[in-house]
Structures are given as structure tokens and as C-alpha cells.
A and B are shown apart, each in its own frame.
Chain A
Amino acid sequence: MTTQPVEAPAGVKRGVSRRDDVRSLRIPMLAMLVLGLLAPFVVYPVFLMKMLCFALFACAFNLLIGYVGLLSFGHALFFGGAGYLAGHAAKVWGLPFELAVLTGTATAALLGLAVGWLAIRRQGIYFAMITLALAQMFYFYCLRAPFTGGEDGIQGIPRGKLLGLVSLDSNLTMYFVVLAIFLFGFFFIFRVIHSPFGQVMKAVRENEPRAVSLGYKSDHYKLIAFVISAALSGLAGGTKSIVFQLASLTDVHWSTSGEVILMVLLGGLGTVFGPIVGAVLIVCVESYLADLGGWVTVVQGALFVVCVLAFRRGIIGELSRVLRRPL
């Protein structure tokens, strides 16, 4: 069965070279950078850090759905799992900030290797169901495992010092560290997408049998992309748990997996900036609707329905169609 997982990113004209492609993104990237540097002086930094963590998570997820065409319904496993490990490393093992986050990232990469190895045996819808089921299994494990603290989670994780020098207790300092981590992840993904490896990934998405017939081992490409996506999700999750000094069951629950899908869908599948816009919007919506309690899920569900029925390109996807340039 040939699947066409995602509509081709709108506005991408055939014959436009990759270099032009990258060049046309310079202005929005510069805008993003300036916005990121100025924002903490206007908006509460902790709120912004939450946005950045989810934006990186969404970008990592988009690498998989947008460029390889694999819908994982279990990415909370990597996000939350790394959160637990990073928190545990910082609190119990007393590791400094950067090593704790790296521990989380490495854990997520290993988990990604295991889950990906199992899940790529099936395609399309089955892939989604398998990742969801494995993530649920991990959720039950976290509920019972001694080091996760069950319902309480790991609380009071120390932020520590960056490289043993700079104290991260100030929110503003912490913000710039998180911004740096986010930018690293963002440009890493950007490089992957625009590398020869990324081109093969897209070929697998568009027509897997043909990519295979050209001699590419599509399963290898899928697995590598899955591990990269898992590791970067882990980077986001590990950073988040240390910033908020809390690792909890919410981050490994399926609702978090759903949330990141919604962010990417709303922003635009397979666009460079879509996941960031989606993450910022969803985090805002959730904090504004926090008083309404249970209605947040209803709003999220309704957004899913509206996006799928009327708005499949997402905000950035539509914008790039209007502007006729890839974004």
C-alpha cells in the first residue's frame, strides 16, 4: 500500500533549489531569534520556558510526522521518561545541570531505539497504535517504579549550576540557557531536514517502495529518524523537568502525546516554523483556559476536529501557501 502520509508542504515549488529554500528562511529565523532574546523582558520567563520546551518537543515530533510520515502516538514516553531520568540524576545522583539533561536525552534515545525497532515493523495506522500501546506500558511502569515517586512524581529537583559556574536559580539566566538548548535542537533538526539524509527521509515519506527500489534501506532511515526525534523530545522533557523542578506522571500520559500532535497539526505538519507557532498557541490557550478546568480537553478536541476537517495545512502551512514560499 502506498501511503501519502502528509500533503506536500504547501508553496514548495518544483525546481526551486535547496539553497534558495534555506535562504528564504533567513528573515523569519532572524525574527525568531530577536523575539526569543527580547521576550523575557516583556513576558514572565517561566511561562516562556514552558513554551520553549514544548516548542522543541513539537519540532522533534514534526521531524517524524512531517518529514518521514510516521505518526507516533507515544511521544510522551520520551518526553516524560527523560524528565524522570533527568530529575532523578539531578536530585538523587547530584549531577550538574548539563549532565542531568544529557542523562535524560540519552535515556530517551535508548528508549527510542527500542520502541522504534519494534514499531517500524508495521506501517501507517498500526505504527500509531503500537507506539501508543508501548507508551501506555511505560506509563504503568512509571506509576509503579520506585524512583518515579508514583502519583507525587519527583519534586524539588535542584536546578544547580551550569558547568559548575553559573547558578541557574534566577529565572532570567535559566531562560537564556533554555533558549540556547531550544536553538540547538531547532538548528539540529533544520540541518537534518536539509541534509542528503533528510532528502532520503522525504523520499521514503512520498513513496517508500520507490525509495527501496532505488537501493535505500527505508527501515534504517526510519529508525534513525525515530531515534533522533526521541532524543530531542528527551532533551525537551529533561530540560522541562529541571526548569520546573518537577517530573510527574502527566508528562508520560497519553494526553501529552495527543497535545504535541495537536501543536504540530495546528502549526502545520512538515513546516519549519509550524511546530513552534503551534506550541506557543496551545500553551497560551491552556493557561488562559486553566480556570475552566475540564473544558480544556473539550477545546483541544474541538481544535483537532476543526484542524483535520478544514485546516489540514495548519497556520504556517496556509501562510506559506499565501506567501508562496516555504516556511
Chain B
Amino acid sequence: MTTVFGVPIQALFSQLLVGLINGSFYALLSLGLAVIFGLLNIINFCHGALYMLGALVAWLLLHFLDLGYWPALLIAPIVVGLFGMLIERTMLRRLQGLDPLFGLLLTFGLALVIQGVARNYFGVSGEPYDVPEQLSGGKNLGFMFLPNYRGWVVLVSVLLCALTWFVTERTRMGAYLRAATENPILVQAFGINVPVLITVTYGLGVALAALAGVMAAPIYRVNPLMGADLIIVVFAVVVIGGMGSILGSIVTGFALGVIEGLTKVFYPEASNTVVFVIMALVLLVKPAGLFGRTA
């Protein structure tokens, strides 16, 4: 068998794939965080909890309404997105003009509530969620075995990231959004309904997290705490990339996923911590983050 640095090439590529999958979720979540932060000036701590909620809604749809993966891929983000808009309208809106730290504390509280309620009804062991029929099985690429579903997740994530980039950078709606990030009062004076824009943006950012949750459901088990540890890694990703640019979030997310996957092959003990170590190094060399403007 071919080996690279004493590691079988098959193991290397399969961990690389796992890294890409994790990277997809990092990218999708940090993208949502960056867009929300730009407009609301709030770090959405409940992003991980809403990602979990997406997976949970998919599971509930399957068990109570007999709706499978494909409808869930559409319905769960809409449900969670509406829930997010409700949160924005009723709570986050009241924090405008206050120190952003209060937004962090509020969303942290919301994450505790959402995760706590989910844990009380579902326990901590988690529920399995089957891979949809159309995507089961896999292909032998010669150098590795590629499960169809995992290829699908990476593909969809890349497309979603590209779509988000396109919407924010190349469309009229995106132009409003970027303008409102720079100067909301002026944009409002030009006749654009900024409060609605904020609500919709928050809803979309959250829906993106929920979509990631649905895609994650067949890979990991649907577990009430699946978002809790993930969000901390995503925070580190955000610190490394800086929240200044959409493209930066995407690249950093995928890159860190891959680095994490490679660490699992060459030095498994450090695979949990490698992202945090890189964060510390980046802070030493380039405190504003790799793609960040000055803090």
C-alpha cells in the first residue's frame, strides 16, 4: 500500500474528507456569524444551538410527519429562520445602542435555554438519522472510498458559500446590506427599511446554520449538545479569519477543517486543540486576524 510519511494514503484521504466536512460546517457557521455581526453588531452565541435545532427539526419531521431528508432540507431552515426572526424582533432589537457584550450574554442565555429544553426531551445520547436513499453507498476513487453523502455535503456547502458571497457582493440586496453595515442611519435616510433588513438578515444567517444542522444530522447523531462545542471552535475560526470579509470566513473555515483532519492523522492527541493553537499563533503574528481589518 502507498504511504505518505508512514501513513497509509487511504487513511490520509479519508481524514482529509472528514476535515473537509468539518470545514464545511465551520465555513457555513462562521459565514452566518460574520453577516449577522456586520449588521447587528452582535455575536450570535446561540448559532450553535440553532444549528442543533435544524437537525432536531429534521428528526422531528421524520418521526411525527413522516417527512424525509429532502423536505427537511427546505422546511427546517425556514422554521428555524422564522424562529430566529422572532428572537430578533422580540429581544435582540431591544439591545440596539447598548454595548455588544450584552448581545453576547443574551444569546448565550438563549443557547442555554434551547439546549436545556432539547436535552430534557431527547436526553444526551442522541438519535440516529439515516442517510437519504438516493445518496447512500459510495464510489471507489481508486485511492480512496468516497461515501456519496459526504461528497454531497462538501459540494452543497461550497455552493452555498459561493451563493452567499454572490448575494452579498454582487446583488442589490447585498449592496444595501453592506451599506447598512457601514452606516445604517444614512441608508435608512435613503428610504431603505433597515429594521426589516436586519430582521431578514438575522433570519437568513440563522437559516444557514439550520441548513448546516440538517446536513450534519446523518453524519453525526442528532444530539442536543452537538452545537455547544462546535460554536467554540467556530469562534476560534472567526478570530483567526477576522469578520471583515465573507471570502475570508469561507477560506478560513475550510482550511482549518482540513488542518484539523490532517492533525488527526499525524498527531491525533492534538486534533481537538489544533484550531485553538493556530488561533494563539495568529494572535501573536497578526492580531487583527488573517483577513480582518484593524480591530
Residue on B nearest A5 in the bound complex, by CB: B99
Known: A121-B287, A133-B239, A297-B116. Contact between A71 and B101, CB under 8 A?
yes
Identify the interface centre among A137, A144, A261: most chain B CB within 10 Å of its CB: A137
**B78 interface contact, C-beta 8 A:** no
What residues of B have a CB within 8 angstroms of the CB of A141 in the complex? 273
Q: Kindly supply a per-residue 1/0 record for chain B positions 252-278, scoring 1 wherever the CB is within 8 Å of any chain A CB and 0 otherwise.
A: 000000000000000001001101110
Q: Name B281's closest neighbour in chain A (CB-CB).
A: A118
**A27 contacts partner chain B, Cβ-Cβ < 8 Å:** no
Chain A hits for B250, CB < 8 A: none
Query: CB-CB < 8 A to A162: which residues of B?
Result: none
**Pairwise interchain contact A130-B279, C-beta atoms closer than 8 A:** yes
Which label, helix, strand, loop or mixed, suits the secondary structure of the A interface?
helix
In the complex the two chains form, what is the Cα distance from A71 to B100 in whole Å? 11
A144-183 interface code vs B (CB 8 A; 1 in, 0 out): 1000000000000000000000000000000000000000
Q: Are the CB atoms of B109 and A132 closer together than 8 Å?
A: no
Q: Give the residue name and chain of the A residue nearest to B276 (CB).
A: A137
With beta carbons under 8 angstroms apart, the residue of B105, B117, B229 that contacts A308 is B105
CB of B57 within 8 Å of the partner chain: no
Bin the interface of chain B by size.
35 or more
A303 touches B109 (CB 8 A): yes
Q: How far is the CA of A6 from the CA of B98 in the complex (A)?
A: 9
Chain A residues with CB under 8 A of B112: 258, 297-298, 300-301, 304
* Most chain A CB within a 10 A radius of its CB, from B43, B99, B287: B99
CA distance A293 to B236 in the complex (A): 31
B65 on the A face (CB < 8 A): no
B43 touches A125 (CB 8 A): yes
Beta-carbon contact of B283 and A129 below 8 Å:
no
A254 at the interface (CB under 8 A from B): yes
The answer to whether the Cβ of B120 comes within 8 Å of any Cβ in the partner chain is yes
Asked if B280 contacts A118 (CB within 8 A), the reply is: yes
Give min CB distance, B64 to chain A, whole Å: 22
Interface membership of B80, Cβ < 8 A: no
CA gap between A254 and B284 in the complex, in Å: 24
A258 close to B108 (CB less than 8 A): yes
27 contacts between A and B (CB under 8 A): A3-B99, A5-B99, A71-B105, A122-B287, A124-B100, A124-B101, A126-B239, A128-B101, A129-B239, A133-B233, A133-B275, A133-B279, A134-B276, A137-B276, A144-B269, A258-B108, A295-B116, A295-B120, A297-B113, A298-B116, A301-B112, A302-B113, A304-B105, A304-B110, A308-B95, A309-B95, A312-B102
Taking a contact as CB atoms under 8 Å apart, the answer to whether B106 and A125 are in contact is no
B29 to chain A, nearest CB (A): 13
Cβ B105 vs Cβ A261 within 8 A: yes
A261-B105, A304-B109 given; name 14 further pairs at CB < 8 Å: A3-B99, A6-B99, A118-B280, A119-B283, A122-B288, A124-B101, A125-B43, A133-B235, A137-B277, A144-B269, A294-B120, A298-B116, A301-B112, A302-B109
Q: Are A140 and B272 closer than 8 Å at their CB atoms?
A: yes
Q: Which residues of B contact A136 (CB under 8 A)?
A: 229, 232-233, 276
- B94 cross-chain contacts in A, Cβ below 8 A: 309
